[in-house]
Structure 1
Amino acid sequence: MATKMIPFCSLCGNMMFVEEFNACKLKMVCKICPTFYNITKTITNRSYYKLKEIDDVLGGEEAWKNVDSTEVVCPKCSHGRAYFMQLQTRSADEPMTTFYKCCNYECSHNWRD
């Protein structure tokens, strides 16, 4: 895995910035002093973030204690009952989002409506 490096000016120590010059060529320049470095390699950066699970957003297993259950079919195991809770996830003029957790302890599938 490559390490990320923020370039700093060797003369004044300030952060350097990328600027374009001469028809799509790039260079790193210092905004304080006349230091610059031509960029000869292609610079790419990709970051993939892990999406949070429903339990992480809702507060983990503690959030599911003392919640009510209702008759609804689990899409994973077809069990006929699930715990539910409602949260306001959008603006106040939007309806609340209902989160479900299957009552079948072997399944415990989470989904939302």
Structure 2
Amino acid sequence: MEFCDECGSMMHGEDGVWVCRSCGFEKARDAGTESAMTTTEGQDTDSGPVDMSEVDDEEIGPTTEVRCPECGHDRARYEMKQIRAADESETRFFTCTECEHKWREDDH
């Protein structure tokens, strides 16, 4: 991967040169440097949907006691993700183990 010396954007290889699609800056490609780079060319980036039909709920992830706003069941799987600024708390995502309803909970 190569980054633009002018604006810092990722550059793309075109006809023997690196081209920045943000600012138009170009620089010559160096075969020696590129041989050490890892590319995604030819890699399978989407292997399709994952079949979870034969996986027990306990193997999918942790559960907690929380009331589903859809069916009122008291158990849900959860995961936490940092989707806002790093100095803010993570967002909790829940999936009801009974009806599969999904919801999220933010700290305000």
Question: How would you bin the TM-score normalised by the shorter chain?
Answer: 0.3 to 0.5
Tell me the TM-score normalized by structure 1: 0.41
Tell me the TM-score normalized by structure 2: 0.43
Larger Rg: 1
